């Protein structure tokens, strides 16, 4: 049935909590208010305050508490109201959760998920609109996920909650109202597997999160001009599905990487390396990267909209690559 991305996230939490009494939700406003974006609405009434746990405004403290819960056998799902505020939880996530399995020779595990809304486009200004996934992608021991549609959001979140290691789960704010087909009940989308959202022959557009939706929009418009673009939605950033990327680029012989985050020092550079290392000998033109502007995200809607790659920018870049 049709559901929004936001409803799919709520469904996933409900399915996981219903199946396993050790799954708990921890964060600011997750109870009575129903979560910062509404994703936990109705869960307090169903599972009580012993499993939907309201916290003080201290991301460091409640994320650290979640690490402790996970070490003791629970499966906490932490909600951080804006991904920008994960910077306040870097210590428990990066220095503790990501390290315990290794430092204990596999005897200790941290099965926790940190859910957090990502990105720009809502007029929330510089401190609430960043793409911060790059902060976590260079940390061994972490899994990093960023689904673009409702089906993947539900299936990946259920898979993440069942994983025995820490996950940072990015949900783009602009994706929340988007609708898609979402099955009832529990199902899983595999972690570490990309998805070809649209088949094509002329160029591979590689992206994730909201930019996968933008890439699909551009691909549909390009089709009217006789250009066949393949859209590779990574879904899982770490672990990364190198094989699907390579197979796509070896078929199309061109690759455009699109991220909302600025390209300097970002994940797009890693993706570019993957393309060259796996399919570089067959490329018909250099790999191109398209990302957000090198500046903080503006509050002004007219400026903010120009800072982020859109379908027109993707189309222009694709046509330059094909010329």
User: Where in the sequence numbering do the catalytic residues fall?
Assistant: 59, 128
Please state, in angstroms and rounded to a whole number, the distance separating the CA atoms of residues 80 and 62: 10
A 10 A CB-CB count for 312 gives 12
Phi, psi angles (nearest 5°) of residue 257: -105, 125
The length of the chain, given as a count of residues: 323
Q: What is the largest CA-CA distance in the chain?
A: 61
Q: Looking up tokens 């990015």, which residue turns up?
A: 170
Cα distances (Å, whole numbers) of residue 33 to 7, 11, 54 = 16, 17, 10
Query: Residue 234 and residue 6: Cα distance in Å, rounded?
Result: 20
Instruction: Please check whether residue 316 is in contact with residue 221, taking contact to mean a CB–CB distance below 8 angstroms.
Output: no
Query: Could you give the strand order of the β-sheet that contains 113-118, starting from the edge strand earlier in sequence?
Result: 52-54, 23-27, 75-79, 113-118, 167-172, 143-145, 236-238
Long-range CB contacts (within 8 A, 24+) of 269-276? 270/137, 270/240, 271/206, 271/245, 274/240, 274/242, 274/245, 274/246, 275/206, 275/245, 275/246, 275/249
Token digits of residue 223: 């089709």
Task: Give CA angle at 293 (289, 295), nearest 5°.
Answer: 140
CA 267 – CA 188 distance, rounded (Å): 26
């Amino acid at each position: 049935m049709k559901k929004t991305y936001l409803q799919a996230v709520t469904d996933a939490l409900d399915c996981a909590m219903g199946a396993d009494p050790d799954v708990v939700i921890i964060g600011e406003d997750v109870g009575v208010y129903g979560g910062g974006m509404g994703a936990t609405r109705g869960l307090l009434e169903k599972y009580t305050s012993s499993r939907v746990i309201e916290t003080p405004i201290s991301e460091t403290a409640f994320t650290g508490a979640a690490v402790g819960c996970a070490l003791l056998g629970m499966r906490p799902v932490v909600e951080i109201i804006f991904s920008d505020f994960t910077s306040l939880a870097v210590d428990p996530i990066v220095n503790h959760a990501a390290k315990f399995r290794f430092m204990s020779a596999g005897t200790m595990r941290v099965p926790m998920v940190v859910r957090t809304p990502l990105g720009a486009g809502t007029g929330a200004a510089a401190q609430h609109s960043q793409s911060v996934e790059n902060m976590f992608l260079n940390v061994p021991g972490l899994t990093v996920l960023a689904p673009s549609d409702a089906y993947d959001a539900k299936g990946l979140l259920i898979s993440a909650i069942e994983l025995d290691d820490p996950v940072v789960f990015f949900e783009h704010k602009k994706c929340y109202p988007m609708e898609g087909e979402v099955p009832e009940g529990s199902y899983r989308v595999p972690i570490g597997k990309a998805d070809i959202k649209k088949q094509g022959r002329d160029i591979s557009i590689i992206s994730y999160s909201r930019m996968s939706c933008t890439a699909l929009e551009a691909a549909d418009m390009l089709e009217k001009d006789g250009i066949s673009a393949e859209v590779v939605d990574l879904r899982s950033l770490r672990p990364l599905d190198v094989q699907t990327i390579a197979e796509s680029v070896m078929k199309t012989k061109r690759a455009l990487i699109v991220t909302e985050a600025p390209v300097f020092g970002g994940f797009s550079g890693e993706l570019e390396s993957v393309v060259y290392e796996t399919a570089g000998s067959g490329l018909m033109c250099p790999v191109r990267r398209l990302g957000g502007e090198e500046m903080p995200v503006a509050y002004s809607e007219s400026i903010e909209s120009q800072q982020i790659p859109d379908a027109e920018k993707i189309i222009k870049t694709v046509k330059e690559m094909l010329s």
